């Protein structure tokens, strides 16, 4: 890891994000469950804290953290569309450029999702060096106002990020792969009769040094309680099924409903890999306390 792990100082008001475009009742419930989670953890060492990102600096930090973790874990879903030379550098231990490339794309995806019900969650704890962010995640909830990412945002930020990180041909291949995954998830949901409206855990990570410290649980728990209260399906795509499905997601009662396989291609630098499609059914009778 080469980036600082400390929370950056707040920037001026112009760097604040807009309020999340999330249904008001859901957003209120999420704030309530996050507050409960934080109150329950207030006396633990380091005073763990979960919060919704409110500044662009926090979103940028979340993108850096996720990129670092995905590169460190050799996540095939993220490494696939980098040039082979970059993947070779990662395997040799040189990860700086790859982290920068992937963080650039994740930062754009976080920004784009906020038009459509997205928000970024951070988990942090107090350390001798200050409050350190240990986990970050991107979520999508039912939007208060139904709208798509504006075309100007895609061309001003999305296209440049993809071109700088992947190059033209690999950017096109990566976009096609992302679209194929979305279609596969929707087809699996439709086939099993799950509603479109629900909670989507788009991506998330825990710094390797902090795995086993319940960081994932703190980030997932408020959404689990929200799903149970509002009778919502809670879904995700697991890009590291060999390490996460049983160790993490099964503990949260996620079930595999399908999978999507990416085959070998001239633009796929890691070879065939599989992403598991997973769903947690709402359990309204479950207890809604941390």
For position 1, what pLDDT does the model report?
A: 32
Residue 38 class from Cβ within 10 Å (0-12 exposed, 13-18 middle, 19+ buried)? Answer: middle
For position 247, what pLDDT does the model report?
A: 54
For position 238, what pLDDT does the model report?
A: 82
Q: What are the average pLDDT values for consecutive 10-residue runs of the chain, which has 290 residues?
A: 38 70 97 96 94 96 96 92 94 95 97 96 92 96 95 95 95 93 93 93 91 90 95 88 57 84 90 91 64
Query: Which pTM value belongs to this model?
Result: 0.89
For position 243, what pLDDT does the model report?
A: 57
pLDDT tens-place string over residues 236-286: 988 765 655 445 566 678 888 989 999 888 999 999 999 999 999 998 765
For position 9, what pLDDT does the model report?
A: 42
For position 254, what pLDDT does the model report?
A: 86
The CA–CA distances, whole Å, from 62 to 2, 53, 65, 77, 269 equal 14, 9, 5, 18, 25
């Amino acid at each position: 890891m080469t980036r600082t792990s400390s929370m950056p100082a707040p920037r001026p008001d112009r760097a604040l994000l807009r309020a999340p475009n999330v249904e008001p009742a859901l957003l209120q419930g999420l704030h309530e469950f996050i507050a409960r989670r934080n109150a329950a953890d207030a006396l633990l060492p380091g005073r763990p804290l979960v919060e919704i990102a409110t500044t662009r600096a926090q979103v940028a930090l979340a993108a850096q953290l996720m990129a670092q973790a995905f590169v460190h874990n050799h996540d095939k879903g993220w490494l696939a569309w980098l040039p082979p030379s970059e993947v070779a550098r990662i395997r040799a231990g040189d990860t700086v450029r790859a982290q920068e490339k992937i963080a650039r794309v994740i930062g754009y995806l976080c920004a784009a999702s906020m038009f459509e019900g997205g928000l970024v969650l951070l988990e942090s704890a107090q350390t001798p060096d200050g409050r350190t962010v240990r986990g970050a995640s991107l979520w999508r909830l039912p939007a208060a106002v139904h709208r798509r990412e504006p075309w100007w945002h895609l061309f001003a930020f999305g296209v440049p990020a993809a071109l700088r990180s992947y190059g033209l041909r690999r950017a096109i291949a990566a976009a096609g792969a992302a679209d194929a995954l979305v279609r596969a998830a929707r087809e699996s949901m439709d086939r099993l009769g799950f509603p479109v409206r629900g909670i989507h855990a788009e991506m998330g990570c825990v710094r390797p040094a902090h795995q086993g410290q319940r960081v994932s649980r703190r980030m997932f728990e408020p959404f689990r309680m929200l799903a149970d209260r509002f009778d919502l399906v809670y879904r995700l795509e697991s890009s590291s099924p060999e390490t996460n499905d049983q160790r993490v997601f099964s503990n949260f009662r996620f079930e595999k409903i399908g999978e999507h396989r990416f085959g070998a291609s001239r633009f796929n630098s890691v070879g065939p890999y599989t992403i598991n499609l997973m769903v947690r059914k709402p359990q309204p009778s479950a207890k809604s306390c941390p």
